[in-house]
Amino acid sequence: MKLDEIAIGRLAAHLDTCIREVKDTVKITDTYPEMDWDDAYAVQDALRERQIARGARVIGYKIGLTSLAKMKQMGVNSPVFGCLLDAHALPDGGSADTAALIHPKVEPEIAFVLERELKGPDCHIGAVLAATAFVLPGIEIIDSRYRDFKFDLKSVIADNTSAARFVIGGQPLAIAGADLRTIGIVLERNGESVAFGAGAAVLGNPAVAVAMLANHLAARGESIPAGAVILSGGITEAVAVRPGDNVTLRIHGMGSISVRF
């Protein structure tokens, strides 16, 4: 750790204010270039503690920057981990209030729901599949607190990896017998197909991303509890949305979900 508790608390409060007041900021590594990975996750933790103190609950996790398309789009080269709060969840067919978001984008994702606790270290794809009840279509609505979505990995980790809202639903697909690599997805905006892909875009298999999450949490003495929902990462580039837009995600064999803005 390079930052002291005061600096960590100050940065968490700053990002919290950006979220609550719907305003952007320059990336925090501009002010604290010396910060390291532990500092970045410590700021994320402190931000979460502020939200929990106001009544939020953690209901799941997310892995981000897991596909080449996303890494290229954001100019970074390694996955990041964040958490999902109850207040982030929107119903299928619901609407996201754009007045509460800075510059939202949508991502097509495969969501995992666990039937058993998943614990690292040494978690592997087999352990993930054994612990998963089913997978579902998921639309993640990301909203970086950084101006023009310009950030580096440490800044985006501190910002809870741009987490803002998410929708899951559609038709649950039992994990037994499913090949997550070849599942095709289509993302539509206002009826027009705007992004396509397959599960293999996420680290060869989205279950690999979930294993990485379990190992990341294990290094911090944590695990993923049964019942948690996990967004495994955008399969394609994120797509910008505006007020009035209607977004639908269709996944082969898993139905569709949608959200309005």
> Where does this chain bind ligand OOG (CB under 6 A)?
62, 64-66, 70, 74, 107, 140, 142, 144, 149, 156, 161-162, 233-234, 238
- 8 Å CB contact between 92 and 109: no
- 8 Å CB contact between 197 and 236: yes
The listed partner (ligand OOG, Mg ion, none) that binds 188, CB under 5 to 8 Å by sort, is none
Q: Shortest Cβ distance from residue 71 to ligand OOG (Å)? A: 8
Does position 159 bind Mg ion by CB under 5 A?
no
Q: For residue 70, what is the enclosing H or E element?
A: helix 68-74
CB-nearer residue toward ligand OOG: 27 or 250? 27
Q: Shortest Cβ distance from residue 67 to Mg ion (Å)? A: 10
Q: Shortest Cβ distance from residue 64 to ligand OOG (Å)? A: 3
Residue whose token pair is 């992004």: 195
CB-nearer residue toward ligand OOG: 188 or 237? 237
Does position 82 bind Mg ion by CB under 5 A?
no
Q: Shortest Cβ distance from residue 5 to ligand OOG (Å)? A: 26
> HSE (CB half, 13 Å, CA atoms) of 27?
18
The two tokens of residue 16 are 């919290």
CA 55 remoteness from chain centre: 21
CA pair distance 85, 255, nearest whole angstrom: 24
Residues in contact with Mg ion by CB under 5 A are 64, 107, 140, 234
